Amino acid sequence: MNTNLDSPAYLSQQTFHHLMAQAPVAISVLRGPQFTIELANSQILEVWGKDESVIGLPLTEGLPEIKNQPFVGLLQNVYKTGITHYGYEAKVTLIRRNIPGDYYFNFVYQAVTHSDGTISGIMVVATDVTEQVLSRRKLEDAEERHRLAAEATGLGTFDLDLQKGVIIHSPRLAEIFGRKSTDVISHPELRQIILPVDLHIVISAFDRALRTGIYFYEARVIWLDATIHWIRTTGKIIYGDDGTPLRMLGTIQDISEQKRILDDLQKSEENLRLATQAAEVGTFDLDLLNHSMVWDRRCRELFGMEDFDGPVSYDNQFLLGLHPDDKEKTDQAVNRSYHRQLSNGEYDVEYRTIGIDDKKLRWVRAKGKVSFNDDDIPQRFIGAVLDITENKLNEIRKNDFIAIASHELKTPLTSLKAYIQLLHVNARRSGDSFLLNALQKSENQINKMTKLIYGFLDLSKLESGKLRLERHEFDLNALIEEVAAENRPIAQSHAITFLGGKPIIITADREKIGQVINNLISNAVKYSPKNTDIKVLVQRLNNQVKVSVRDNGIGIKLKDQQHIFQRFYRVEDDSTKGFSGFGIGLYLSAEIVELHQGKIGVESSEGQGSEFYFVLPV
């Protein structure tokens, strides 16, 4: 119905103006085919960004910026047909305070008629909805960005209308449910794809979501090809102003791969747990960033506190549980493993514990590894501990036996040697060459035996920590010459050469260093064929001196080289058949050199001879 503003029955002009000015909406009356602005209330002037000076001007003069916008056309249409036009969220470009900008309006163009029914103008009523439109756009943009981000990470997205039970989902979601990306799946259908035994998980998650607003579950779905896949759903409920849940927005992710990895991990952890249990190995795990430590039951047992379930710490349980004599060296070994340069994070020690609760003494072997970050800062220290008490006690008993036996053998051997030396004097006097020869051989054997026995004695001293150095200043060259000379009569089959030079004065245990040189020379003789050369060399390097013994013997394989300095290690293969020994010579030598803060090593390859060397600080 058109408005007849001229009708006296309607409203007086004045009343109308007054009404318009009061109206909470923007109103204007445009008169004639030029759409002359006859009336414009303050709201519409504000919307236009103009003042009252536009009143009386044709619309396109008052608001020249609308000339190229569709409104003039719409007005003309209404003017011509009388059909009211409703605009919804229409965009208008307006120049407000000289600044052009886009605004959005809901508006009505309604024809105004003369009393004879002919159209005389148009009434414009407009509501500025710019703010709503822009904020809705923003929301839509955000939702779109969200959706795109979700799709990019392989997430499916959904929007469930909780009132109607209608779901809108992304193509990816259909894929996660084992359908084609173009498939559209309804909410009840989605539920049917859930593995029946997991359906209760989904239902209770949904109920919980209605109470808490948060939706979360992990469950299995069964695809059309009958394969089973894990999904993880997270969602959030959107409520209306009155608190009724309106929609649920969320994402769904295929977590089958994650689940598989986790499963494998759990399986291997379980295997490891069973294996460590079977081997009675305890485990420890130190988080070096948070300074926390975890011990399993077996580890607690080895520290004599199997009934203690509480938290453990490095200072209170570990250090406290160590035997006082082993505390310092073990603590040092741990600290060493925290320096990548020093230890490469490796930790391998033996120590004694005194049970914190049961006060029992136990021997423990611990092996561990520290992991570092890129800046070499230690992060985590994990390892295993093993009870070696039984072995250790056996070993101690064995060592004690060797020590006692060696000690007891020393006296008869010394007197045997004295008697042989006496016989030697007599034989020389009588000139009996057979006797002389036999006695020389006996003496050689006795010397060998003496060396062996002293070796065993040293070994037991070393094991019990009683091997002490007696340091004096002496000339290293003189010592080497002495040892070489001692060996020559025994090893006439080899040419032992040594070119000493100016005296090299070092401070060390002369006897023990002599023992090391002697051991290297006698090994060189032992492990190289007759009539080959053995060269002893000395080199001065800055603050160090290096002694090497080179032979042309059987050589040593690389894989054996790393073990030959270990106690009782002997190379057992065809090349060493027929060589007797106990595998303690190099072990003792290495320990002696280490006590001097020196370094021992070998360079060799099979069949190519060997060069053993040690370096001492000067």
Distance of closest approach, residue 365 Cβ to ligand ADP, in angstroms: 23
Nearer Cβ to ligand ADP, position 475 or 611? Answer: 611
CB of residue 458 vs ligand ADP: minimum separation in angstroms?
12
Percent composition of the chain: helix, strand, coil (DSSP 3-state, to 5): 45, 30, 30
Cβ atoms of 189 and 183 closer than 8 Å? no
Question: Under 8 Å CB-to-CB from 512, ≥6 apart: which residues?
Answer: 469, 592, 595
Q: Nearest distance from residue 599's CB to ligand ADP, in Å? A: 17
CB of 403 to ligand ADP, least distance (A): 19
Nearer to ligand ADP, 126 or 549 (CB): 549
Q: Tokens representing 274?
A: 């069973």
Beta strands in 524-606 (DSSP E): 533-541, 544-550, 599-604
Tell me the closest approach of the beta carbon of residue 566 to ligand ADP, in angstroms: 9
Nearest to ligand ADP by Cβ — which residue? 581
Would you say 57 or 490 has its CB closer to ligand ADP? 490
**Closest among 533, 498, 517 to 598, alpha carbons compared:** 517
* The token pair that represents 29 in the structure block: 């009356």
Please, what's the b/e burial string for 447-463 (b: 16 or more CB within 10 A of its CB; e: otherwise)?
Answer: eeebebbebbbbbbebb
Based on CB atoms, which residue is closest to ligand ADP, 120 or 528? 528
Residues 251 and 422: their CA atoms lie apart, in Å, by 101
The answer for residues whose C-beta is within 8 angstroms of residue 163's C-beta and 6 or more apart is 246
When the beta carbons of 337 and 406 are compared against ligand ADP, the nearer one is: 406
Buried b (16+ CB within 10 A) or exposed e, 409-437: beeebeebbeebeebbeebeeeeeeeeee
Q: Token pair 């007054």 is at which residue?
A: 18
When the beta carbons of 500 and 581 are compared against ligand ADP, the nearer one is 581
Please identify, using beta-carbon distances, which residue of 327 and 526 lies nearer to ligand ADP.
526
Q: Which is nearer to ligand ADP, 39 or 521 (CB)?
A: 521
Strands 214-222 and 228-239: antiparallel
Whether 124 and 85 have beta carbons less than 8 Å apart is answered as no
CB of 574 to ligand ADP, least distance (A): 12
The residues binding ligand ADP (CB under 6 A) are 523-524, 527, 551, 553-554, 556, 564, 569-571, 576, 581-587, 610
Q: How far is the CB of 592 from ligand ADP (least distance, A)?
A: 12
Please state the closest distance from residue 529 (CB atom) to ligand ADP, in A.
11
Query: 28 or 487, CB closer to ligand ADP?
Result: 487
Cα 367 to its chain centre, rounded Å, is 20
* Phi, psi at 366, each rounded to 5°: -125, 135
Angstrom distance (rounded) from CA 361 to CA 352:
7
Alpha carbon distance 490, 534 (integer Å): 14
Which residue, 376 or 573, is less far from ligand ADP as judged by CB? 573
CA atoms of 286 and 346, how far apart (whole Å): 14
Query: Can you tell me whether residue 387 is helix, strand or coil?
Result: strand
**Smallest separation (angstroms) from ligand ADP to the CB of 433:** 33
